[in-house]
Structure formats: C-alpha cells, structure tokens
Amino acid sequence: MSDSAAIQVRGRPLIPGEGSGPLLRLTHPISFWGGVDPTSGQIVDPRHPEFSSSITGTVLAIPAAVGSSSSSAIMLELLREGTAPAAILMGKADAILALGGVVGGELGYAPIPIIEVSAAELERLPDGTRVAVHADGTVTSE
C-alpha cells in the first residue's frame, strides 16, 4: 500500500497472543463444524460466500461464529494439523471457538490469539493488507 499511515484498531483478547498474516475478511458468519475442513484449512460450506478460500495462516476476520458447539473440536483440529489461521478477529465474542483454543493450549499446541473487535473497528482494517495482532489486543495494518 502506498498509504504509509498504518491503521490501528483495538480489541479485547479472548485468547491473548501475537500473530500476523494477510487479512481474510469473511462476509458472512461461519460454523467451523461443517464449514471448515481442518485437514486442508479450506472453507468447505458451498453456501458460504468465501467458499474454497484457505484460512490457514491468515488473520481471519469473522462477523460471528454460528452453529454447532462441535466447532470447538474443529478449532482444536486446526491447531493440531497446523492449518489454523495466524489469528482470529471476531465481531462478536464466542466461547465455542475460544474453548477449542483453550483446550489446544492445554494439549501443548501453539495457541493463536482470538480477539473480539467491534464490527465498526473491523471495517477500518483495509482489505488486501497484512495485519498484525499484538499481545494487548491491538491490531495494526502493515
């Protein structure tokens, strides 16, 4: 980006940590169970607008998580398989995905930060850029 002024937004860490990657903004809520294949890291729900995108290594911005509480198990599988995003930014806090992260940490898999960021703040992050998540819950575009 030619714009040298980095954007910074502030969020609330559900699981604190650091990570960076290209921003992947989902335009629709997603159920990880039935929606994400932990082996490939791809979005496999054909009804989802970002169908077939890979979430691996991205900073994944999602408006909300929906659906089955088995999504905790898929979150754990993503951490085990090394196919997880670098970080997750959620418009609405959700205990199900975060719980998968907590259990992943208990089992010794490197946790990823999960940050609650308001929808308005998420909007400020420019598409097509790399973003970094910091331990205090701030998110900056690079």
Partner 1 sequence: MPLHLSEPERHLLSGASGEAAAMAMRVVTSAAELLGASSLVEISSAHIDGCLHHGDGGVEFAETLVKGGGEVAVPTTLNVGALDLLHPDVVQADAHKTDMARRQMEAYVAMGAQPTFTCAPYQVGHEPGVGEQVAWGESNAIAFVNSVLGARTERYGDFLDACCALTGRAPLYGLHLAENRRATVVVDATDVPSELKGRDVFFPVLGTWLGLEIGQEISVIKGLPESTTRDQLKALGAAAASSGAVALFHVAGVTPEAPTVPAALGLGLPSDPAASNQSWGRQPMWPTPRTIELDSGSVRAALQRLSTAAGTDRIDAVALGSPHFSADEFRALHHCLRGRQMGTPFYVCTARDTLAEIDAIGIADELRASGVEIVADTCVVVTPILPAKNGVLMTNSGKFAHYGPSNTGYDVLYGSLEDCVESAITGEVVRSSEVWVW
Contact positions vs partner 1 (CB under 8 A): 14, 33-34, 38, 68-74, 76-77, 79-80, 93, 95-96, 98-100, 102-104, 106-107
Least CB distance to partner 1 at residue 77 (A): 4
Least CB distance to partner 1 at residue 126 (A): 29
Q: Write out the catalytic residue numbers.
A: 68
For residue 115, give both structure tokens.
């940050």
Least CB distance to partner 1 at residue 5 (A): 34
For residue 18, give both structure tokens.
């650091």
Residue 14 near residue 93, CB atoms below 8 Å: yes
**Quick one: 107 or 120, whose CB is closer to partner 1?**
107
CA distances from 83 to 40, 49, 63, 75, 142 (A): 7, 20, 21, 10, 23
